[in-house]
Chains A and B, each alone.
Chain A
Amino acid sequence: MKKHLLSIDDVTADDIAALFETAAEMHDVQRREVKKLPALRGRTVINLFFEDSTRTRSSFEIAGKWLSADVINLSAKGSSTSKGESLRDTVLTVTAMGIDGLVMRHSASGAAQQVSEWIDVPVINAGDGTHEHPTQALLDAYTLTRRLGSLEGRHVVIVGDLTHSRVFRSNVKALTKLGARVTVVAPPTLMPSGIGTWSADAGFGTSYDLDAVLPTADAVMMLRVQKERMSGGYFPSPREYTVGYGLTRDRLGVLREGAPILHPGPMNRGLEISADAADAIDSMVLDQVSAGVAVRMAVLYHLLAGEDQK
């Protein structure tokens, strides 16, 4: 495995298999009375979050603590970043304290990559702008694998605001790497420009018509419509978005029996996902959250527990 996890491009299909194997064991630890493994004892991980996050940050924090690492959370609010310190200085400062790993989220695409060139410790990208969110994609793929078995030849439909989604970018890479067929669906205004060049890749397609795609889906992943986009002129009204691209009760009936429903959260109930879908028996939303801890434990373990890499 590479030293950093900045993008799904950093892991091979074999790496993903090893991560999933580890995550499965970590999942068992989650159910134990003593949720503690000594693998990262004496190691210090900093969660450096320049953007708001509840589940990703707490998930990384729990993952680190269950592996016995010392985990410190730093958010941009209240840090010296708000006093005008540059990203480089902030990162060099926390690294100089003697940390062993850096988990970071930043609003700028490529921030994690940039930081990995400045410092000597493994960097894990917890979301950079509209670029990537690799651990989210890994936990989504892990959740799907647990449910469906091998993803080879499976059809996964990803629906929502693709233009502003790092989750979808990482997911397309991870799922196609595991052999799945991925169709992404969005209104034309939220379809990223230049996505046509991706379509050449085997097993990837785009569509504007959710109803045409849904019947062949083995799994469907709904993406959050970010509140700030609702007034951005990307679609006429929230109601119209729901009619065209929401997972409504009617569409639930079109889905194949037992097809899992995923959502990275936080959900806008009634907008991109109806309460019926969110609470459906096939909704994997909470499985994703619990898988999130297991997969992040696996990532921290493989990046930080072994011998140091150059």
Chain B
Amino acid sequence: MSSPDTPAGDGRVVLDADDVSRALTRISHEILERNKGAEDLLLLGLHTRGVPLARRIAERIESVEGTSVAVGSLDVTMYRDDLRSHPTRAPHKTSLPAGGIDGKTVVLVDDVLYSGRTIRAALDALSDLGRPAAVRLAVLVDRGHRELPIRADHVGKNLPTARSEKVRVRLAETDGGDSVSIFGSPAGTAGGEVR
């Protein structure tokens, strides 16, 4: 999968590796506090970068609580409302822990919250997979410009942006390093997905 328009240069770094780490730690604590512990918690990462983020949050929760937390991944390709405006691409792996999602508190994890359409698709996908007790949303960055009535429960960083700007999240697992940057006007560079 390649990003349609990837900006040149490094843009403006708004979160460096330490900031990303601190944001994830805070999100982890918030999730624990909100859930009153790690019981029945399921962290579901949205492809692509939500998946490693969900794993990192799970590790943090485990180190605090000393119990293991269920982690899965969710692909929403077939639930998107813009399927018909692109060539098709193969869906990623959706993997759920053995117990499924029934009765669990599912925390959807994604890197950037923007229009909200991905989350809408994820909620539809969830309803085909089972009936969670509750669904919450954790994102590393909320850049605004919602097109649907959706908000995040846990936000790493609120990032006021213009629609013309691009936000790029890089993660060690997928891009060889952690950072969040903003780009003014689109041009072209490698690594990291831009939204």
Contact = CB atoms under 8 A, between A and B. Distances in A.
Contacts of B36: none
Q: Which of B87, B88, B129 neighbours the largest number of chain A CB atoms within 10 Å of its CB? A: B88
B84 A25 contact: no
Given A34-B129, A38-B78, A38-B79, A25 B89 contact: no
Given A37-B78, A38-B78, A306 B90 contact: no
Nearest to B85: A307
B75 interface: yes
A241 interface: no
Interface residues of A, number: 22
B83 A36 contact: no
A33 B129 CA distance: 8
A278 B166 CA distance: 58
Nearest to A33: B130
B23 to A, nearest CB: 31
Interface in A271-310: 301-302, 305-308
A25 B128 contact: no
Contact of B91 (A1, A22, A32, A306): A22
Given A21-B90, A25-B91, A39 B78 contact: yes
Q: Which of B75, B84, B89, B129 neighbours the largest number of chain A CB atoms within 10 Å of its CB? A: B84
Contacts of A28: 94
Contacts of B88: 1, 301-302, 305-306
B84 A306 contact: yes
A32 B128 contact: yes
A306 B83 contact: yes
A18 interface: yes
Interface of A: 1, 18-19, 21-22, 24-25, 28, 32-34, 36-39, 67, 301-302, 305-308
Interface of B: 75, 78-79, 83-94, 124, 128-130
26 contacts: A1-B88, A18-B89, A19-B90, A21-B90, A21-B91, A25-B91, A25-B93, A25-B94, A34-B128, A36-B128, A37-B79, A38-B78, A38-B79, A39-B78, A39-B83, A67-B78, A301-B78, A302-B88, A305-B78, A305-B84, A306-B83, A306-B86, A306-B87, A306-B88, A307-B84, A307-B86
